Structures are given as C-alpha cells and as structure tokens.
Chains A and B, each alone.
Chain A
C-alpha cells in the first residue's frame, strides 16, 4: 500500500480529526526525530523533543490550516519544542553524542568511510551559528522550500535565501580548515 501523501493526510484530518493522527505520526516520526537530533545533538533530548512535538500536534490538529503546508506546520512545532529544550540544556549536554545504534547498518568499510565523513560534516554543522545550522538542516536534510523555511523560522524568503548562502559559505570554510588540518596531521605521521 502506498503511504499517504501530505494532501491525503490533511484531507483525512479534516474528515476524521484525531483518528488521522497515527498515519501522520508514522509518516513524520523519523524526520521529526532526526531534525530534533541534529538541532540538539543529544539522543535523549531529541526523543523528548520529538515526543513533545507529537503531543502538541495531537492537541492542535483542529488548528491545522488545510491550505498551508503540513510539513512546515509540523517543523514549526518541532522547532519550538527543540528550542525549548535547547534553552534548558546545560552547555556540557550539547555534545557530539552520535551513537552507532541510531544509524542504519552498512558494510564495515562503508561504515568507516561514512562515519568519518559524517562525523566531519556533523562537527562542522555543530560549529555553525544556531540560526545557520537550523536553516541548513531544514533545507538539506528536510528539503523544505524557501517558502516553508520562511514559515518555520518566521523569516522572509529573501532572508532565508541570504541565510542559506551564508550558512553554506561558513560551512565550506570550516570544512576546508578541518580538512587542511587533517592533511597536515597525515603529513606529520
């Protein structure tokens, strides 16, 4: 059976109310969790944020504007929950808590290569200013349009365009610095 599209889900919510919550949850649970995880970089906090997000969604289904983007609405709620937790987090908790069990299984070689690349990228992403990190996550991982990102972050579309450019540029520079450092380390061996 084909999974329901956003349009079909919105239609079901309009007709069936809370009964349409289960398909909505299964469609978005991984994305919401991953989004919270990338913002918070802490598995337990990400799980708490995702749980709170779905609780809010369940409670606010009647407020869903059927003409607006469902995913923008969901990520707006997830963002608020993640930021609430982020504000409560101690600085020491904001760590690179990437554990093996949250990633898909791969072959050993692929895993080593992917992990190294992924760790470098995650590290760079973590070094970005929170506003840039968030906007890059919404665009690159969640693949939201500029209109949807503008809605989630409460910015104008031109501000989104500019922030994405700056985020990419900043991330590119950080990657370059890290890779240069790694090359120097390798040369020194």
Chain B
C-alpha cells in the first residue's frame, strides 16, 4: 500500500470508519512514516478547527415563517393499521342517543304494526263470509246427583 493510500486510511480512521485489522496495519505504517503521521496531525487539526467554531444559529424569523406555513397546510394523519377480523369479533360502537332512538322506533313501530295486522278487521269484504262454529256438548247425566 502506498503512502497516498495510507493517508486515505488516516482520513477514514479519524472518522471511525476503519475496521480493527485495517487500523492495526495503519498504525504499523505510521510508526515508520513521518509524512503519514503529519497527514494525521493535519487532519485532526482541521477537524478541531472546524468543529470548535461557534455554532451558527437560525434567525428567529425562520420560526414564524415555518410555523405559519405549517399551520396553513393540511395535516397528514397516518392511516390506521387494518387488522383482519372475523365477523363475530367485530364490535359496533354507537352513541347512546342513537341507540335509544333506534330502540324507541323499533318498540313503537312494532306496536303499531302489530295493531294493523292483528286488530279487528271491519272491512265489508271480510264481513260477508263468516263461519260460526257452535259446538254443543251432549248432555251428561250424572246418576244419583241432582244439582
């Protein structure tokens, strides 16, 4: 491996992107090579120089601009996860007033319907033909007993 390639390894080493065996080979070379050791020093100096700089802060106006934009836009809500369920596992939820109204309609509707179907029928057509069955029981004589 040439010094140029080792310098590339130095760069990867300071980024913690070198495997253990590669690090071992690199350090064996660094022990014998002044120019690669210098490359390591330069790379580390550069890093500390860049990272030690005061942080750049976003201007406060950005907050207002971004937040007003976010408020004016449509919200996205993730879809609910669809879980397949069998019929008898399903639960139907209804609000209490809706249930009460439905029961009221069923109850009184049922009364009304039953009075239509089962109540007295006075229509003339049905009144014409009427069959009356009279059952006469035979007289039964009980001997020895006079009421």
Contacts and interface: CB of A to CB of B under 8 A. Distances in A.
A161 B5 CA distance: 11
A34 B10 CA distance: 27
Contact of A161 (B17, B54, B63, B73): B17
Given A17-B76, A25-B66, A47-B62, A141 B51 contact: yes
A175 B42 CA distance: 10
A118 B54 contact: yes
Contacts of A19: 75, 77
Contacts of B55: 30, 34, 104
Q: Which of B46, B63, B77 has the most CB of A within 10 A?
A: B46
Interface residues of B, number: 36
Contact of B15 (A21, A50, A146, A171): A146
B56 A38 contact: yes
A168 B9 CA distance: 12
Interface residues on A, range: 35 or more
Contact of A51 (B10, B49, B51, B66): B66
A9 interface: no
Contact of A18 (B49, B58, B67, B70): B70
A123 interface: no
A42 interface: no
Nearest to A21: B70
A58 interface: yes
A15 interface: yes
Contacts of A43: 59
Interface in B29-84: 39, 42-43, 46-47, 49-51, 53-59, 61-63, 65-67, 69-70, 73-78
B15 A139 contact: yes
Interface in A23-41: 25, 29-30, 32-34, 37-38
Given A33-B62, A47-B62, A51-B62, A58 B73 contact: yes
Contacts of B25: none
* Secondary structure dominating the interface of A: helix
Interface string B67-108: 101100111111000000000000000000000000000000
Contact of A102 (B42, B47, B57): B57
Contact of B77 (A17, A140, A146, A169): A17
B12 interface: yes
A161 B60 CA distance: 36
Contacts of A146: 15, 17
Contacts of B75: 17-19
Interface of B: 7-8, 10-12, 15, 17, 39, 42-43, 46-47, 49-51, 53-59, 61-63, 65-67, 69-70, 73-78
Interface of A: 14-19, 21-22, 25, 29-30, 32-34, 37-38, 43, 47, 50-51, 54-55, 58-59, 61-62, 102-104, 106, 114, 117-118, 121, 125, 136, 139-141, 145-146, 161-162, 164-165, 168-169, 171-172, 175
